[in-house]
Chain A
């Protein structure tokens, strides 16, 4: 047997041993444990506000605080909304209209976006003369920018169609760390509540947990049968939720290193585009290509509600930091606030 063949066999047998080790801690499934808990009652959310103003498909939305959010649309605009009053605080024209993602800095001072231009553009909202200008253009990715999230005013993490994620220093515009390992386009990322790690979902059907400081991949989770489009942390920071084109969402636990439960239904045929947990994590709101949003009881894996009101795909969703409302964005060019 050649050297390569031996190595390949070793890798395969290690993977088998890991599967066995994961099985070894399956003393009880999540379903068994919560068998005695009641399903959350029917959740009926109503549209409280509709944000009108975009002229084309909305691809992304991100909350900055309990009222302000930023949205990105293929009409080439980034709009910062005071969702409570439905006023547009800023309407930022973009150089490239093929935008796929946007993000609000936790400080509220900046927003970022990117897309087919392979760049992450940072905009300063608190400029001296009141005008919103491009502060930095972070260019180094060789594929489209699928997602970006600020750690603080100086650092941002991006995921790209070039199969990597990158941690940037905004001030110098340089790449601090490149997180490589995915075998397919990275579609989405989520930062842990403690800002020490982040997760990425990709078109290789896996999700990876990365250490921000040393750039290492700490864990890899598989099981999906198609691209992972959406990913997010469970609010306790110990579990990860993914949404995929295979029309299912999954919950993976970091400490037991495996999948806990799958959220799917034979009546749901279309892929998941986006997801967000409620404040307690008991509810998971997921947006689908079939124009609806489904609300899942995260522990019992049952559908407890539907948000229907969009006339085209739901492309993005987000819950406010205080958990008061959720915002859905759609290809029908509208954003809706629900609770």
Chain B
């Protein structure tokens, strides 16, 4: 209907398409209710669309006759300002009708909706919400962003051009608009006659409209362009993350033509590879899926109560170490400009809080270089350090460049596992056999099974002895050594 009109070369004013448009909109919305990806991994909805739907729900409530925002016509000097409401009206409505805590949040949400063009200040190009008597108007659904508008520069040129043809002070171009018009005139120098004709035709139709209706339509049209060609410095809310734009489907859904122009200008966008199409699963794939789901079914599931308890106790245990919850000792360097905290972390002398953390679990000791050192020192004093030394050697092996791996694997084998090894470790026979196989084709994970076994041993045996040791307890109590005289 609309597009067919453009093809016939008839100049149809955009506003006359409302009624038909609404009908089409309702039909398409009814069809596109699915939120889940179809078999090709595609969705009908872009992420922006999800947001638009939520906003439109709120707008619908705002426009409700009984519980919405009261819309009125304001008399001003010799004229009337039709169909407006104030910024404060919006803020009050949001506070009352949505679960919003305070005015700051209401302003933030309202500004977001204004920036997307759902309502706009009638006397300002900058789309923001103010909590005062500033007048706002609703945007017509035709121009809602959910219609996938991507208006071309030629349309913008027609719009700016027709504005210059009209003799109203309120329609004068702002500086940035005048600059845009100049730029577009240069860019479309060859097409300009055609653009000018379009602008003339639009202006002609505009003149025939009723004065009040015109005020409203003009402001809505301007708000549309404020969204798609925002004031320099303002955010363009129609921008899409490039990760998502390369997946967007339905180019036919995109509306590009506001004034019915033919357009061969492509907007600049990065090249992208289309997402691979997910096929229907083959029989083999289904068998794999069934195997996977069967394994899932067989897995052991811990009771929620246990899980909840473990999460709670973890957060409680570490809350003293969480600078967002507890002020760090001596201070947070970012706030106090004093880097003592970091200097202490880097030093070999661990503070009490740090030592206490080693007691939370073996991982804390193994994570902290000073903790590892103390742990090793303690085990050496007991002549039982081979387990830890093996574990550390295997960790270090995993980071080696590939060419050094085979030699290192051999060295570790000789030191810890070979018969007659100087630092013999005790590994279960299953892991021992597996490791014997692995070293024939040595890779970084040759000792994985042995390491896991040794880790469990250390956790239950060496680590608990360390935590109970007087060496550790002394560190914990921060028994002061002879203080050095600093003078």
Q: Chain B residues with Cβ under 8 A from A257's Cβ?
A: 296, 299, 301
Interface 1/0s, chain A 270-305, versus B by CB < 8 A? 110100001111110000011110000011000000
Q: Is the C-beta of B302 less than 8 angstroms from some C-beta in chain A?
A: yes
**A324 and B323 in contact (CB under 8 A), knowing A25-B304, A187-B243?**
yes
Asked if A94 is at the interface of the complex by the 8 Å CB criterion, the answer is no
CA distance A299 to B311 in the complex (A): 8
Cβ contacts under 8 Å, B315 to chain A? 280-282, 298-299
Q: Assess whether B399 is in contact with A245, with CB atoms less than 8 Å apart.
A: no
Of B41, B109, B319, which one neighbours A183 at CB under 8 angstroms? B41
Q: A185-B243, A279-B324 are in contact. Are A267 and B318 (CB under 8 A)?
A: no
Q: Is B272's CB under 8 angstroms from A290's CB?
A: no
Query: Would A260 and B308 count as touching, CB distance under 8 A?
Result: yes
**Nearest-Cβ distance from residue A300 to partner chain B, whole angstroms:** 11
Task: Assess whether A132 is interfacial by the CB under 8 Å rule.
Answer: no
Give CA–CA (A43, B306) in the complex, Å: 28
Chain A CB within 10 A, most for which of B278, B308, B321, B333: B308
- Please report which residues of chain A, range 290-339, place their CB below 8 angstroms from some CB of chain B when the two chains form the complex: 290-292, 298-299, 306, 308, 311-312, 315, 322-325, 331, 337, 339
Residue B23 lies at the interface, judged by CB distance under 8 Å to chain A = no
Among A162, A322, A337: residue with most chain B CB under 10 A: A322
CB distance from B108 to the nearest CB of A (A): 7
- Looking at the complex, which one of B100, B301, B306, B312 makes contact with A21 (CB distance below 8 Å)? B301
Give the CA-CA distance A242 to B405 in the complex, in Å. Answer: 37
Which residues of chain B (300-320) have a CB below 8 Å from chain A?
A: 301-312, 314-315, 317-319
Cβ contact within 8 Å between B283 and A3: yes
B275 touches A266 (CB 8 A): no
Cα(A312)–Cα(B234), bound, Å: 9
Q: Which of chain A's residues 198-215 have a Cβ closer than 8 Å to chain B?
A: 203-205, 213
Contact call B301/A22, Cβ cutoff below 8 A? yes
Task: Tell me which residues across on chain B come within 8 A of A258, comparing CB atoms.
Answer: 301, 304
Kindly state the interface size class of chain B when it binds its partner: 35 or more
CA distance A16 to B270 in the complex (A): 43
- B458 contacts which chain A residues (CB < 8 A)? none
Report Cα–Cα, A143/B275, bound state, in Å: 7
Once A66-B342, A152-B398, A152-B399 are accepted as A-B contacts, the answer to whether A269 and B301 lie under 8 Å apart by CB is: no
Q: Is the CB of A339 within 8 A of B324?
A: yes
Contact assessment for B305 and A278 in the assembled complex, using a CB-CB cutoff below 8 Å: no
Query: Closest approach, in angstroms, between the C-beta of A175 and any C-beta of chain B?
Result: 14
Would A281 and B314 be within 8 Å (CB), given that A3-B283, A153-B399, A162-B276 are in contact? yes
Of the candidate stretches B198-206, B221-229, B286-294, B475-483, the one touching chain A is B286-294
Residues of A1-27 at the interface with B, using a CB-CB cut-off of 8 Å, are 3-4, 7-8, 10-11, 14-15, 17-18, 21-22, 24-27
Given contacts A183-B37, A236-B310, contact A48 B335 (CB under 8 A): yes
- Whether A217 contacts B303 in the complex (CB less than 8 A), given A28-B308, A339-B332, comes out as no
Nearest-CB distance from A108 to chain B (Å)? Answer: 13
Contact A256 B286 (CB under 8 A): no
B173 at the interface (CB under 8 A from A): no
Give the chain B neighbours of A143 by CB distance below 8 A. 273, 275-276
B50 / chain A contacts, CB cutoff of 8 Å: 226, 245-247, 271
**Which of B290, B307, B322 interacts with A11 by CB under 8 Å?**
B290
| A280–B322 CB distance below 8 A | yes
Q: Is the CB of B333 within 8 A of A84?
A: yes
Interchain CB contact under 8 A, B321 and A33 = no
* Total residues of chain A contacting the partner, CB 8 A: 110
Closest chain-A Cβ to B19's Cβ sits at a distance in Å of: 29
Check if B36 is an interface residue, CB within 8 A of chain A: yes
Q: How far is the CB of B244 from chain A (nearest CB, A)?
A: 8
Q: Kindly identify which residue among A161, A219, A253, A290 contacts B307, using a CB–CB cutoff of 8 Å.
A: A253
From 30 to 49 in chain B, residues with beta carbon under 8 angstroms from any chain A beta carbon are 35-37, 41, 43, 45, 47
Which residues of A line the B interface, CB within 8 A? 3-4, 7-8, 10-11, 14-15, 17-18, 21-22, 24-30, 32-34, 37, 40, 43, 45, 48-49, 66-67, 84, 98, 100, 115-116, 118, 142-144, 146, 152-154, 161-163, 169, 171-172, 183-185, 187, 193-194, 203-205, 213, 217, 219-220, 225-227, 234-236, 238-239, 245-247, 253, 255-258, 260, 265-267, 269-271, 273, 278-283, 289-292, 298-299, 306, 308, 311-312, 315, 322-325, 331, 337, 339
By a beta-carbon cutoff of 8 Å, the part of chain B in contact with chain A is 35-37, 41, 43, 45, 47, 50-51, 54-55, 98-100, 105, 108-109, 112, 235, 239, 241-244, 246-247, 270-273, 275-276, 278, 283, 286-287, 289-290, 292-294, 296-297, 299, 301-312, 314-315, 317-319, 321-325, 328, 332-335, 339, 341-342, 345, 363, 398-402, 445, 448
